[in-house]
Amino acid sequence: MDKLLIEGGARLSGEIAVSGAKNAALPILCTALLTAEPVTYTNVPQLKDIGTLLALLAQMGVKVERAGDTVTLDASGLDNPVAPYDMVKTMRASILVLGPLVARCGEARVSLPGGCAIGARPVDQHIKGLQAMGAEVRVEHGYVHATVPRLKGARLFTDMVTVTGTENLMMAAVLADGVTVIENAAREPEVLDLANCLVAMGAQISGAGSDVIRIRGVERLHGATHRIMPDRIETGTYLCAAAATGGSVRLTGTSSCYLDAVIDKLMDAGCEVVSERDAIRLSAPSRLNAVSLRTAPYPAFPTDMQAQFMAINCVANGVAMIRETIFEN
């Protein structure tokens, strides 16, 4: 597809089923690397990044079965703990295989990631955490090469709040010898969803969703079935589309509990938002009020909703200021 042709000026109304969260599905699919038993995931969104990750896992020796929004992964044949550049370059989240591979295989060779080039987003917090857990880590020729007989539990403090760093280190720690404590951990709902999946597989984790996560390592994990949480950014985007056009929308298969900061701003703009069981309804006025906001780590306003509110402010009454604090430039 080379372009999208959009005929604007229409009031957007209707009912939409929200997909599973990409930012939850990507790390959660990597949990299959931690066990030799099959793991089934439901509500998996059908997106290019998901396909790229599944292709990467298959290249490592993981058996992949996909039917609609259900994916079953069997890593009993895992024999190639390498994530090559030609796979990783298209998706930054591919770095999430590093922690699970080191934990289960005792080694990993993962290309430094590419993907959406927003800001620097270094992986030094991932590397520093693995080193604190006893891994020998070298960065050579664009690859992170990590080896260790078995990871050891450790007290980890991230210099910055990092979602993928928290997820990578949490997955590494579930098979480590001893207790690992991650301080200054990311609090995003996707981190909590990953922890819930790992617990279903036999991991011992407490504190996920707070800034201190405690993991007691176990000898092995087992298979499980896990449903991916709804995508809060997709939810927020549809709400903004209806709001910007003076429309009304009902979103099903989602929840307002992860979107307090976004919903507060929509209501400040003049929208009526009603939370139902597994659904959200929004009705917008004919003209919105401009709203100022500042992005920050969860539970504050999410950076991935910044652009949508910039569009809303373009068609709203008044003047507003948006401050981006997550990504530089």
Catalytic residues: 116
The neighbour count for residue 20, using CB atoms within 10 Å, is 24
* Cα–Cα distance for residue pair 207/210, rounded to 1 Å: 6
Outline where DSSP puts E strands in the chain.
13-17, 39-42, 63-67, 70-74, 82-83, 107-111, 136-140, 143-147, 155-157, 179-183, 204-206, 212-216, 225-227, 248-252, 272-276, 279-283, 288-289, 293-294, 316-317, 322-323
Q: Any idea which residue has 């591979």 for tokens?
A: 101
Tell me the Cα Rg of the chain.
21
* Cα–Cα distance for residue pair 197/15, rounded to 1 Å: 29
Residue 79 phi/psi, 5-degree rounding, is: -140, 5
Residue 176 phi/psi, 5-degree rounding, is: -75, 160
